[in-house]
Amino acid sequence: MATEYETFVRDRSRILSGREVVLTLRDLSPGRKKYRGVNVRAVVSRPPRSGEPVLWIRSVVGLKDSKPCSVRIIEELPEAFAAEPYSDFFDVMEKAERR
Amino acid sequence: MAHKDFRGFLAAIESSGDLVTINDEVDWDQELSGIGRLSCERNGPAFLFTNIKDYGSRIRVAANPIATWRRVAVALNLPADTPLRRLYQVYAEREDKAIPPILVNDGACKDVIIPGDKVDLFDLPVPMVHEGDGGRYLGTWDLVVSKDATSDWVNWGMYRFMVHNERLLTGYPRPTSHLGKMLLEGYVPQGRPMPIAIVIGADLPSHIAAAATFRMSGNEADLAGGLGERPVELIKCETSDLYVPASAEMVIEAEIYPDRVAQEGPYGEYPGYRSGEMGNAICARVTAITHRRDPILTLDTTGFMDSSATTTSISGAIAIKRRLERHDVPVVEVYVPPEGGVHLAVVSVRRGGAEVAQKVVEVLTARRALMSKIIIVDDDVDVFNMAAVIHAFATKCHPDRGTHITRYEGRANALTPAYSLEERIARSGATVAFDATWPPQWPAETTPIRATLDSMYSPDVQRRVLQRWKTLGL
């Protein structure tokens, strides 16, 4: 498992609610596979909890939050979500959360 | 004739002094593209990177093939110092002389064939183009081949694709693009995966044709032949019935899912901003990769004044002119300044006025609405001279009567930075025409006269001044 990830969000409050959420994480481990994407069900904490990988949140324009979070990955999900092309991806992730 | 392959083009721009090769190690993570970005902003050279961190020298990366008019000229096999107006003329002439492609059985793009189950996209030195992008972008200066589900129409387009994992790509051909239309109207209703081929490092005319603003159902392979004055050689893909330029550096064959999505973007795009358009994309699974020995990946360090800016400047302007002519607008010339990020067009007309301005904006927003600002000038203004255009705009456009706005829903450009996040998601927008022409009903005896040498001096004085200017060596 990586020690540092980032994720892009439209609604921070959803991510930081303390409940399980569905996210796409980007692995920030140095090397050839840096920025590899993985879909997960996870819980995000701010301030970060020790022992958990660091998570950086970015906005929809890529602006990085100054304060880090941590992420506890509960399960890895399939590489893509069931939805028609051009569906709103953030809505699709929220729907996946409710399943 | 234009150079037959990408390597021939690189040799030509090296000869003209428009290519710099960097043999020192450069990091694929932002550094490589940062060099390319600065070059775009300073009208600098193209770059060939031969030693890339984590990857060594096996695969090289070429950045910004035609981000300057000099390199566009070389790509069209013209002298590098060809004037811009002449480039426009040559492009328009060659666009009218389509040359169909020829099919071949062998091609350099098949030197190495990697079947889908052996593909790992992280084996390629795909650059992280900007800090804060959603991922690493493989398709920035590419040529994406797709075929209509119910007809023989084959489309070539230039669309961005991001690496999600070892075999999954996500991308953003706009839903209003030709590929988007094929996907949504053909493959999605049938629940069929849509085969595509992402071609990297083909001959330059093929990429220019792919990036060009071109008519629906038009054949870009024919256009590429016309632009290059030679037929493009095409070869069949390994996993689909699509045909690709045989000399390409690399071909990534894939299938777009009709029923799956994954995260794509955000990405710093050609308008010069990262606008937060992420979240409405497609995803594709790679089925094979074929490539030349020691292949060269290509990169357009997308943003202000990138390679797509020059291409769309020419092809977009010519497409606008042809469309206005079809609708009986008295158009004379059209210029799309690359500094405008494909959001600004300048149109000169024989006879202006409110009625013409309104017609221009309506015609140019009827299907797709990429341009958000159009400046209309009289035909005594040189559209390629932006100083003259700004002068006309600032002085002749009435602040109230000279503004003609058309609003639209569902077909606006989601990459337009001026739109709010809500407007970008809904693709809701507007285009404004600034009428910088004299109203035709104004009598000549009271219409202001421009205080320039060519307007406010007698022909005899103009001639003598110009002669004196020459003898002074100025």
Residue B363: Cβ-neighbour burial (10 angstroms; 0-12, 13-18, 19+) = middle
Please judge whether B261 and A87 are an interchain contact, meaning their C-beta atoms are less than 8 angstroms apart.
yes
pTM for the whole thing? 0.94
Predicted-complex ipTM score: 0.97
Question: How many domains does one find in chain A?
Answer: 1
Please judge whether B132 and A58 are an interchain contact, meaning their C-beta atoms are less than 8 angstroms apart.
yes
Nearest-CB residue to B261 (from A26, A31, A80)? A80
Please judge whether B282 and A63 are an interchain contact, meaning their C-beta atoms are less than 8 angstroms apart.
no
CA distance B32 to B140: 14
Check residue B10 and give its pLDDT: 98
- Provide the residue range defining the domain that includes A49: 4-98
CA B383 to chain centre: 20
Which residue reads 């997308």 in tokens?
A: B302
Please judge whether B258 and A84 are an interchain contact, meaning their C-beta atoms are less than 8 angstroms apart.
yes
Band of pLDDT at residue B358, cut at 50, 70 and 90: very high
Q: Are A53 and A71 in contact (CB under 8 A)?
A: yes
Chain B interface mutation, best of A14, A66, A84, highest count of B Cβ atoms under 10 Å: A84
* Chain A residues lying within 8 Å of B261, measured CB to CB: 80-81, 83-87, 89, 92
Please judge whether A92 and B183 are an interchain contact, meaning their C-beta atoms are less than 8 angstroms apart.
no
CA distance B419 to B242: 37
Q: Quote the minimal CA–CA distance from A87 to chain B in Å.
A: 5
Q: Where are the alpha helices (DSSP H) in B379-452?
A: 386-396, 421-426
Nearest-CB residue to A32 (from B54, B264, B266)? B54
> Residue B176: which of B429, B432, B407, B367 has the closest Cα?
B367
Domains of chain B in start order, with CATH, are 6-307 (2.30.110.10), 327-441 (3.40.1670.10)
Check residue B67 and give its pLDDT: 96
Q: Quote the minimal CA–CA distance from B55 to chain A in Å.
A: 8
Residue that wins the pLDDT comparison between B76 and B212:
B76
Q: Quote the minimal CA–CA distance from A40 to chain B in Å.
A: 12
Chain A interface mutation, best of B137, B256, B260, B269, highest count of A Cβ atoms under 10 Å: B260
Check residue B278 and give its pLDDT: 66
Check residue B285 and give its pLDDT: 98
Chain A touched by B257 (CB under 8 Å): yes
Please report, in angstroms and rounded to a whole number, the separation of the first and last CA atoms in chain B: 37
What is the per-residue pLDDT across A28-51, written as a single tens digit (0 to 9) for each?
A: 999 999 999 999 999 999 999 999
Band of pLDDT at residue B335, cut at 50, 70 and 90: very high
Please judge whether A81 and B261 are an interchain contact, meaning their C-beta atoms are less than 8 angstroms apart.
yes
- Please name every residue paired with B114 in a beta bridge, in sequence order, or none if there are none: B289
Q: Is the pLDDT of residue A99 over 90?
A: no
Check residue B424 and give its pLDDT: 85
Q: Is the pLDDT of residue B217 over 80?
A: no
Please judge whether B280 and A89 are an interchain contact, meaning their C-beta atoms are less than 8 angstroms apart.
yes
